[in-house]
A and B are shown apart, each in its own frame.
Chain A
Amino acid sequence: MDNLVIAATERSPAVDFDFAAGVLSLKGESYPEDASTVFGPIFAALEGFLGVAECRALRFDFELIYFNSSSAKALMNMFQLMDKAAARGVTIEVNWFFAREDETMKEFGEDFSEDLEHVTFNLATTQN
């Protein structure tokens, strides 16, 4: 499966999905005009990979500084997709990075993790 690498823009995150290594990451900010345009290809690539990822291990690093509400909804869809795959036996570890003093991003991490039953969700602070 082809890797997915998309450079960050002013209002959309950097995407680096290394499917061969099983390491995926989203970094930066996300408040595009239309969240479905940005997250559509990301979701499709993740869904495609998880569909053929039986008995594989996957690590997903999130290092997001800010995202708007429609991006939050798209992220929730991704977590629901990952939890279903984890329930089928794919080992999935999520690392949710946030700046030490950033209560908002910490709370978002907690919110998302509460809904996950099968994914291992780690909250971790970054240096900044």
Chain B
Amino acid sequence: MTIPANTPPEGEPLTLAQHYRAFKGVLDERGILFSFSGYLSEGILYSLGDTLRQKMTLDDTDLTTIKKVFSVFVEQAQNIIRYSAEKVLGTVGKSVELSSGMVTIGTERGRFFIVCANTILEDDVPQLKHRLEVLQKMDKDEIKAYYKEQLREAPDEKSRGATIGLIEIARRASEPIEFDFDRIDAEKHFFCLKVSI
């Protein structure tokens, strides 16, 4: 029998294990396979992505679904690394760029979902919102045509490829993408994007 988490004797605070079991329980209840919050690097992206593919393969997930989930994960994580407004830059033996954000992968109603979140600057909200709204309204064929059109375009130096990355994410999604912004202060917003596959 499983003893429910979060049940300290009356009036007593949670013990260390109870506290963190309850914390993990919240993630488990939401069907989360893993969730990373903090400073992301390309090394973490590689390790998480590799583990994700191994887990899905062990669960006998079909190859096309593994590819779609992995692709959305990579594009989302690389968007955080490139565009998060919370960054630490410096030199630690070599040049290092760490970007803060969150990547969460789980299952619900028989589908995988991937959520990425990071803070973004007020000035960058309108353009990102517009790009996502355009993609949200498109059907599968329109997204595919839009992807091909952007593939032929010369690289946009400033965006470092944001548009094509977002189109790739929308293309792999089984349902229209969901996104939201929550204001943090005068200059920053919390941005999140959810994709179901």
How many positions in chain A have a CB within 8 Å of any CB in the partner chain?
Answer: 24
Q: What is the interface residue range for chain B against chain A?
A: 20 to 34
A62 at the interface (CB under 8 A from B): no
A31 touches B67 (CB 8 A): no
Chain B interface SS verdict (over half): helix
A69 touches B155 (CB 8 A): no
Chain A interface SS verdict (over half): helix
How many whole Å from B112's CB to the nearest CB in chain A? 15
Given contacts A66-B71, A72-B164, A104-B67, A31 and B78 within 8 Å (CB-CB): yes
Query: Tally of A-B residue pairs with Cβ under 8 A?
Result: 60
How many whole Å from A62's CB to the nearest CB in chain B? 15
A101 touches B64 (CB 8 A): yes
B102 at the interface (CB under 8 A from A): no
Q: Of A36, A66, A69, A101, which is in contact with the most chain B CB atoms at under 10 Å from its CB?
A: A69
B62 at the interface (CB under 8 A from A): yes
- Residues of A near any B CB (own CB < 8 A): 10-11, 31-33, 35-36, 66, 68-70, 72-73, 76, 80, 99, 101-105, 111, 114-115
10 closest A-B pairs by CB: A69-B168, A70-B161, A69-B164, A103-B64, A104-B67, A69-B165, A76-B151, A33-B42, A101-B63, A31-B74
